[in-house]
Amino acid sequence: TPYDYIVVGAGPGGLVTADRLSEAGHKVLLIERGGPSLGSTGGTTQPDWLKGTNLTKFDVPGLFETMFMDADPYWWCKDINVFAGCLLGGGTAINGGLYWYPPDIDFSHTYGWPPSWQSHHQYTDKLKQRIPSTDAPSTDGKRYLMETFDVVEKLLRPQGYHQQTINNNPNQKDRVYGYSAYSFIDGKRAGPIATYYKTAIARPNLTYFSHTTVLNVVREGSTITGVNTDNPLIGPNGFVPLNPRGRVILSAGAFGSARLLFRSGIGPRDMLEIVKNDRNAGPNMPAEEDWIDLPVGENVQDNPSINLVFTHPDIDAYENWANVWSNPRQADAAQYIDSQSGVFSQSSPRINFWRKLMGSDKKPRWMQGTARPGAASITTDFPYNASNIFTITTYLATGITSRGRIGIDAALTARALKNPWFTDPVDKEVLLKGIHELIDAMEHVPGLTLITPDNTTTIEDYVDNYPTGWLNSNHWVGSNSIGKVVDENTKVFNTDNLFVVDASIIPSMPMGNPQGAIMSTAEQGVARILALQGGP
């Protein structure tokens, strides 16, 4: 059967979009390549200690770190060479849940947004109504395992930082710190899965297909007529048609949506040639005279991030999260099962902070810090007390000038062709400045020891020799930047009815971990699509 709207991908971009389109009464098909996540959506992956409940790995915030410690991590997309969630909720099913209301500057013309997006605030308000942030997700309103907050606060205060409820003042991002805010509700992962998806799936005019991969959009010149999938149950040969005035919306993520455009004959010639030479994808491409040349995959950004690992005698490293799956602290597990309260109601981060720094190019850049008990990696020859470790991840955010490129290789795996971190040396200079400020303040915190890098390595050498891939923050944006690949209504240039709504249209790095900025973008994007003439 034909649809008014086909939305490809059930990540944060796709869920906001599918919910708003179906709310407006349209006949909507939402297609997701992965399976269920939260228990409420049919997910069943859970540790033994949660047997008998419907709480899964994806529901329980305190299991977040186990995403990176599992022998069979089926939730990662296998054909994207960085972390990306391929299941209902996309990244929001597996991410750390840090959730920031975007500051106004993140939608400013300076950072690439069209002038018509300047009064964006109302769309963030719509998002807040659906997913309110909380910095105290435990159902008893208390915060747990807060030693990391207390120690890092001691490091920040002498530098003139002051405490805020961060999401009460999204525009204040210089020398502020606060409790980590999350998209959790009632002590459980929520985000768009427990909110937008929940209302969308309840509507009879929305159809959801999981375990179905869209291969390409089918187009005649500039007009999209439907999508090809790998699922014959969805339509003959896996094809789903659009209604005459129907539209397709790609929400497959920064890598996934770029690849779908390539496979549909839209993008730089070198990428389209790869698709053309592929035995399976080539025959589905439009004829060469219909190829559309757009900078798909260019202009990509991701925060460069550097981890600093410390010890302090006050810290409880929570066994570096290694036991939460098979051998959790009994009292904490019991408390969580009983009332979704306690340590397990929060993911690993405990404190976040921001600082505005000027580069030698006179451009401001904002540094974000995220601190958590434990560490992903430690390099030192000295002995240290493993039960006292914690990590500060320093990110460089709004204002970064480095850009990279996303593309596909001969196997059609999506990957960075040009890494986006520190391509402009000023970004590195600024992040180094921020790291030095933190290290210099350590003298104010008795007992605080930096173990990675240790005192045999300078900060400069540490950053210079940092393994490139570790700079990845999983916050990719920009591969289909608004103004370059899509117009101000999120429509792909030179097409009649193809749209993109996800992280890929965001033209520059937002201030914080991006899921809030992405869903806020989606709120305005889908409002524009609904208002745009010529649709269903």
Residues 469-498 that bind ligand 6FA (CB under 6 A): 474-475
User: What are 402's two structure tokens?
Assistant: 């480095």
Nearest to ligand 6FA of 365, 475 (CB atom): 475
Partner that binds at residue 184, options ligand ABL, ligand 6FA, none, CB closer than 5 to 8 Å by kind: none
Selected from 271, 518, 526, 529, the binder of ligand 6FA by CB under 6 A is: 518
How near is the Cβ of 519 to ligand 6FA at its closest, in Å? 8
Asked whether the beta carbons of 243 and 3 are under 8 A apart, the reply is yes
How near is the Cβ of 337 to ligand 6FA at its closest, in Å? 24
Q: Which candidate, 498, 489, 502, places its Cα nearest to that of 530? A: 489
Partner that binds at residue 65, options ligand 6FA, ligand ABL, none, CB closer than 5 to 8 Å by kind: ligand ABL
The yes or no reply on residue 98 touching ligand ABL (CB under 6 A) is: yes
How many residues does the structure list for the chain?
536
Using the CB atoms, write b or e for 389-414: b if 16+ within 10 Å. Answer: bbbbbbbbbbbbbbbbbbbbeeeeeb
Residues 16-35 that bind ligand 6FA (CB under 6 A): 31-34
- How far is it, in rounded angstroms, from Cα 111 to Cα 425? 19
Nearest to ligand 6FA of 252, 431 (CB atom): 252
- How far is it, in rounded angstroms, from Cα 487 to Cα 466? 37
Nearest to ligand ABL of 65, 502 (CB atom): 65
- How far is it, in rounded angstroms, from Cα 228 to Cα 242? 11
Question: Where do the DSSP E strands lie in 204-295?
Answer: 206-209, 214-220, 223-229, 239-250
| H/E stretch holding 13 | helix 12-23
Q: How many residues bind ligand ABL (CB under 6 A)?
A: 13
- How far is it, in rounded angstroms, from Cα 297 to Cα 281? 18
- How far is it, in rounded angstroms, from Cα 294 to Cα 17? 24
How near is the Cβ of 377 to ligand ABL at its closest, in Å? 8
Q: Which residue's C-beta sits nearest to ligand ABL?
A: 96
- How far is it, in rounded angstroms, from Cα 481 to Cα 426? 23
The yes or no reply on residue 74 touching ligand ABL (CB under 6 A) is: no
Could you tell me if residue 401 is left (phi over 0), alpha (psi between -120 and 50 degrees) or otherwise beta?
alpha
The yes or no reply on residue 95 touching ligand 6FA (CB under 6 A) is: yes
For the chain, the straight-line distance linking the first and the last C-alpha, in angstroms and rounded, comes to 15
Selected from 46, 56, 139, 251, the binder of ligand 6FA by CB under 6 A is: 251
Report H helices in 24-160: 91-94, 121-130, 147-156
Q: Which of 26, 120, 312, 475 is catalytic?
A: 475
Give 156-160 contacts, CB < 8 A, sequence gap 24+. 156/353, 156/441, 157/444, 158/441, 158/444, 159/437, 159/438, 159/441
Selected from 24, 105, 337, 376, the binder of ligand ABL by CB under 6 A is: 376
Partner that binds at residue 515, options ligand 6FA, ligand ABL, none, CB closer than 5 to 8 Å by kind: ligand 6FA
Partner that binds at residue 33, options ligand ABL, ligand 6FA, none, CB closer than 5 to 8 Å by kind: ligand 6FA
How near is the Cβ of 524 to ligand ABL at its closest, in Å? 22
The yes or no reply on residue 370 touching ligand ABL (CB under 6 A) is: yes
Q: Is 475 a catalytic residue?
A: yes
Segment contacting ligand 6FA by CB under 6 A, of 149-157, 199-207, 250-258, 377-385:
250-258
How near is the Cβ of 326 to ligand 6FA at its closest, in Å? 21
The yes or no reply on residue 65 touching ligand ABL (CB under 6 A) is: yes
* Rg from Cα positions in the chain: 23
Nearest to ligand ABL of 475, 491 (CB atom): 475
Segment contacting ligand ABL by CB under 6 A, of 285-293, 457-465, 472-480, 499-507:
472-480
Q: Which candidate, 161, 168, 165, places its Cα nearest to that of 178? A: 165
Partner that binds at residue 256, options ligand 6FA, ligand ABL, none, CB closer than 5 to 8 Å by kind: ligand 6FA
The yes or no reply on residue 503 touching ligand 6FA (CB under 6 A) is: yes
Q: How many residues bind ligand 6FA (CB under 6 A)?
A: 40
Nearest to ligand ABL of 14, 514 (CB atom): 514
**Backbone φ and ψ of 166, nearest 5°:** -55, -45
How near is the Cβ of 314 to ligand ABL at its closest, in Å? 20
How near is the Cβ of 263 to ligand 6FA at its closest, in Å? 9
Which residues are within 8 A (CB) of 374 and not within 5 positions of it... i.e. 6 or more apart?
65, 317, 318, 320, 321, 348, 389, 390, 391
* For residue 453, cis peptide bond before it (omega within 30 degrees of 0): yes
The yes or no reply on residue 346 touching ligand ABL (CB under 6 A) is: no
The yes or no reply on residue 420 touching ligand ABL (CB under 6 A) is: no
Angle between the N-to-C axes of helices 515-531 and 121-130, in degrees from 0 to 180, rounded to the nearest 10:
110
Q: Which residue's C-beta sits nearest to ligand 6FA?
A: 11
**Backbone φ and ψ of 39, nearest 5°:** -55, -35
> For binding to ligand ABL (CB under 6 A), which residues are involved?
65, 68, 96, 98, 348-349, 370, 372, 376, 473-475, 513
Point out the residues that are catalytic: 475
> For binding to ligand 6FA (CB under 6 A), which residues are involved?
8-14, 31-34, 83-86, 90-92, 94-99, 213-214, 251-254, 256, 260, 474-475, 502-503, 513-515, 518
